[in-house]
Amino acid sequence: MDERNKEQKQYFIETIAKFCDKCGNAYSINDLEIIQETPISSIIHFSCKNCKASHIATFLKPMGISNRMPVNTDVGIEEIRRVMSKGGVTTDEVLDIYLFLKENSQIKV
């Protein structure tokens, strides 16, 4: 891990979350993974080594504000990165799934 990455992770700890919300354990730079980074925002995954609780935070750089939410999943960091690199779901894709379920389901949609 390079020096800039260490400094950035330490900044996120000081700005977003110093301690785990579940057990109160202090976060270290090894407990964070920067999932996505743009000039405007960062998405950070916090994982507590003590209780294994996870949080994902979004940090908006120009405003210096963050939003954090708990994540109750067994999905790993690499899989989160892979899914986030995909494009969004289009309205046509949602409609296609709806029609498929409607035609192939015993339950009325």
- Give the residue extent of every domain in the chain: 3-104
- Tell me if 45 sits within 8 A of 55, measured CB to CB: yes
Residue type, 11: Y
Name the residue with tokens 């309205």: 91
Query: What confidence tens digit (pLDDT) does each residue in 9-33 have?
Result: 999 999 999 999 889 999 999 999 9
- Tell me if 58 sits within 8 A of 40, measured CB to CB: no
Percent of the chain that is helix, strand, coil (3-state, to 5): 35, 25, 40
- Tell me if 61 sits within 8 A of 40, measured CB to CB: yes
Query: What tokens does 106 get?
Result: 């015993």
Query: What confidence tens digit (pLDDT) does each residue in 58-101 have?
Result: 999 888 888 887 776 677 778 877 877 777 888 999 999 999 99
- pLDDT for the residue 76: 75
- pLDDT for the residue 92: 94
Query: Which has the closest alpha carbon to 60: 9, 1, 15?
Result: 15
pTM of the model: 0.69
